[in-house]
Amino acid sequence: MDKKIILSGIKPTGIPTLGNYIGALRNWNLMQKDGNYCYYMVADLHALTVRNDPDELRQQTRSMAALLIACGIDPDRSPLFIQSHVHQHAELSWLLGCVTYMGELNRMTQFKDKSAKHADNINAGLYTYPVLMASDILIYGAHQVPVGDDQKQHVELARNIAIRFNNAFGDTFVVPEPVMPKFGARIMGLQDPEHKMSKTDTNPNGYISMLDDPAVITKKFKKAVTDCEPVIAYAEGRYGCNNLLTIFCACTGKTMDEAVKDFEGCGYGRLKAAVAEAVIAELEPVQSEYRRIMDDREYLDGVLKKGAEQAAEKAQQTLDLAFSRVGIR
Ligand code: TRP
């Protein structure tokens, strides 16, 4: 297999859910293998597009970094950094904005969704959000960008920006591609299994936070919505049941056939208890590692400082090249 440069990022807004973990964070860990070189970033600048509390942002940014390490990102191998610590992203973003059309940004579904949701704060940052994201990606020459399906459109825009810039000014950027997790890409809400599990769900029983303690996890699964079919099966339209089985497989490594067999003749009570148990077993080691890292301020500061230095070295090279291509410097 070809060695790839990989970059991904996550916004430090709230604690990620079980869905974020299975669909994204857990795979970030796996991508560090095969000789790939991975950059992982906490996207604090992107978090500013929604009105924020400064102390909360500071706290959540550190907390997210600690959680990423707890999920298995190895900072000795993959630079882990805070987006704002590498000032080059914002600078490149300006150049890229000058080769991005408003028509393209108008088509971004996340912009449309967020403007509808925050109608009182449709700021320019929300609009140019995908340009900064393109900068995050192109500045490292990333070949692959692991993202959930809601971010795929943004990576496609980054591709178009890279191609357009290269055509106009000469080969400068690697053209990236989105990579979507094969499995567990979509963990659905526990109360509304027709929609993706979301940490902004107004009903906390709808999602499992990665830092929920075991009793809470058990309780939330107990309350999970299923359906009135008596037999446990993976079948079209059986959203709640399918989701529980999917989570079970994702946490135990079993195939769907094996899982369905495991629950032959069982009721939902048994299924829910087993899923809760599997999720607890998966999250507990992550949670204890997270607590250990959060208690070791010096370690975390050191990791983030080193990560930012490594990232900045590459970022500066790309920025210098891009500036000189357009005739600045
Ligand atoms: N926009 C992404 C999200 O909301 C986070 C992000 C910022 C990102 N920059 C990135 C993801 C670069 C991948 C690559 O989830």
What's 223's domain CATH number? 1.10.240.10
Which of 308, 245, 328 lies closest to 86 in space, CA to CA?
308
Both tokens assigned to 4: 């790839």
- pLDDT, residue 231, reads 93
302 and 277 fall within a common domain: no
More confident residue, 78 or 31: 78
Give yes or no for residue 145 CB within 6 A of ligand 1.
yes
Point out the ligand 1 atom lying closest to the alpha carbon of residue 154: 1
Does residue 136 sit within a domain? yes
- Is residue 58 domain-resident? yes
Measured from the Cα of 133, ligand 1's closest atom is 9
Q: Does residue 192 fall inside a structural domain?
A: no
Which atom of ligand 1 lies at the shortest distance from residue 132's CA?
A: 9
Among protein residues, the one whose CA lies closest to atom 15 of ligand 1 = 10
Let me know if residue 197 belongs to a domain.
Answer: no
Which of the four pLDDT bands, split at 50, 70 and 90, describes residue 134? very high
Tell me what pLDDT residue 177 has.
Answer: 97
- Tell me: do 54 and 146 sit in the same domain: yes
| Confidence check: pLDDT of 33 > 90 | no
Rounded CA gap, 254 and 102, in Å? 46
Mean pLDDT of the chain: 95
- Tell me if 208 sits within 8 A of 219, measured CB to CB: no
**Is residue 190 a part of any domain in this protein?**
no
For residues 227-241, average pLDDT: 94
Alpha carbon nearest to ligand 1 atom 3, residue? 10
Residue 327 has pLDDT above 80, yes or no: yes
Strand partners, 144: 6, 177
Q: What confidence score (pLDDT) does residue 281 get?
A: 98
Whether 10 lines ligand 1, by a CB cut-off of 6 Å, is: yes
Closest by Cα among 80, 7, 5, 21 to 279: 21
Q: Which long-range CB contacts under 8 A does 108-115 form with residues at least 24 apart?
A: 108/153, 108/154, 108/157, 109/150, 109/153, 110/150, 110/151, 110/153, 110/154, 114/49, 114/50
246/302 same-domain check: no
Cα–Cα separations (whole angstroms), residue 195 to 139, 187, 221, 222: 34, 9, 16, 19
Q: How confident is the model at residue 329 (pLDDT cuts 50, 70, 90)?
A: confident
**Range with the poorest average pLDDT among 1-5, 9-13, 98-102, 196-200:** 1-5
What's residue 79's pLDDT?
98
Are 83 and 151 contained in the same domain?
yes
Mark whether 114 is an active-site residue: yes
Q: Are residues 237 and 273 in the same domain?
A: yes
- Structure confidence at residue 184 (pLDDT): 56
Give the residue ranges of DSSP H helices in 185-255: 214-222, 239-252
| Same domain, residue pair 118 and 232 | no
Say yes or no: 178 and 229 in one domain: no
Exposure of 250 in the CB half-sphere (CA atoms within 13 A): 29
pLDDT value at residue 35: 86
Same domain, 79 and 115: yes
CATH code where residue 308 lies = 3.40.50.620
- State percent of the chain over pLDDT 70: 98
Q: What is the pLDDT of residue 1?
A: 59
- Both 97 and 166 in one domain: the answer is yes
314 classed as catalytic: no
- Is residue 271 domain-shared with residue 302, that is, in the same domain? no
Give the DSSP letter string of 15-29.
PPBHHHIIIIIHHHH
Q: How many degrees, rounded to 5, is the angle at CA 224 between CA 221 and CA 230?
A: 110
Q: Determine which residue's CA is closest to atom 10 belonging to ligand 1.
A: 9
Q: Please indicate, yes or no, whether residues 121 and 168 belong to a single structural domain of this protein.
A: yes
For this structure, is 261 an active site residue? no
Between 118 and 181, residue with greater pLDDT:
118
> Tell me: the pLDDT tens digits for 190-231?
999 999 999 888 899 999 999 999 999 999 999 999 998 989
Classify 9 as helix, strand or coil.
strand
265-314 per-position pLDDT tens digit: 999 999 999 999 999 999 999 999 999 999 999 999 999 999 999 999 99
Q: Does residue 198 lie within any of the structural domains?
A: no
Say yes or no: 275 and 308 in one domain.
Answer: no
**pLDDT score of 97:** 98
Name the residue of 21, 60, 147 whose CB sits within 8 Å of the most ligand 1 atoms, as the mutation to test its pocket. 147
| Active-site pick, 11, 199, 220, 272 | 199
**Based on the structure, what is the number of domains in the chain?**
2
Choose the catalytic residue: 196, 220, 272, 314: 196
Ligand 1 touching residue 133 (CB < 6 A): yes
Over residues 43-69, the mean pLDDT reads: 97
Asked, for residue 14, whether it belongs to a domain, the answer is yes
Q: Which letter, b or e, does each residue of 155-168 get, where b requires 16 or more Cβ atoms within 10 Å of its Cβ? A: bebbbebbebbeee
Is 194 inside a domain boundary? no
Substitution candidate for ligand 1 out of 151, 153, 156 with most atoms within 8 A of CB: 151
pLDDT in tens, 157-177: 999 999 999 999 999 999 999
pTM of the model: 0.93
Among 6, 7, 8, 135, say which to mutate for ligand 1: greatest number of ligand atoms within 8 Å of CB.
8
Structural domain of 212: 204-291
